[in-house]
Amino acid sequence: MTHLTMEQLVALRDAGSEPGSAASQAHVAACPRCAAELDRLHQRVARLRALPTLRPPRDRFAIVAARVRQDRRQLYVRRAGIGALALAASLLLVVVGGDLLAPPAASASDQLTAVMAESATLEQALRQIRSSQRVTDAYTTGAATSLEDRIAELDRQLEAAQMDGTTDVDVELLPLWRERVGLMDALVDVHVTRAQNVGL
């Protein structure tokens, strides 16, 4: 027995009055397989018609405009923060530079404490800059890597000098710490200058 094709079943479901539809109807009445297929076809059409219609929202301009305003506010806050860090680093450089030019009035221990505090301040500023930056170019990465290598070498020298155990440790450590502060300041300056150039 030859069964009806899908085209014949669709034509039978849709119209039912085309030429040959009487023969198709008679075949469906006699063939349980074709009757079941016609029934499945009716169910599929019913399920498709029951699906909800999806309509996009009419106006998305207000949402997009709000997002643009929020992005601009974040950019302004980020730029203001970087500018404040740059100003703090510049003031710190002026203070450190003034201390280097002035005759030593305080003891080596006091000077060492002050320079170590300046180094800690610069490290904190550097952490904040790194957490807010997203993209760096090859020049910035190369300059920063070179400065970080020199700082690591200085840290090894500082550790060796502290383990030396001589009586004048503060006098030996002070120039190393001052050099470290200068390198840290240069590293902060590299990151801040790059961030301002790319508009972060």
Q: How many C-beta neighbours within 10 Å does residue 183 have?
A: 20
Looking at the structure, do residues 27 and 94 belong to the same domain, yes or no? no
The reply to whether 148 and 104 lie within a common domain is yes
Residue 188 and residue 119 in one domain: yes
Count of the separate structural domains present in the chain: 2
Q: pTM to 2 decimals?
A: 0.41
- Does 56 fall in a domain? no
Residue 198 near residue 133 (C-beta atoms within 8 A): no
Based on the fold, state whether residues 42 and 119 are members of the same structural domain. Answer: no
pLDDT tens digits, one per residue of 102-125 = 554 557 677 878 888 888 888 888
23-48 tens-digit pLDDT: 888 888 888 888 888 888 888 888 88
How far is Cα 102 from Cα 95, in angstroms, rounded to an integer? 10
Domain range for 14 is: 6-50
Is residue 149 within 8 Å of 86, Cβ to Cβ?
no
Distance of CA 91 to the CA centre of its chain: 30
Are 130 and 74 within one domain? yes
Give the residue ranges of the chain where pLDDT is below 50. Answer: 16-17, 19, 104, 195, 198-200
Residue 160 within a domain: yes
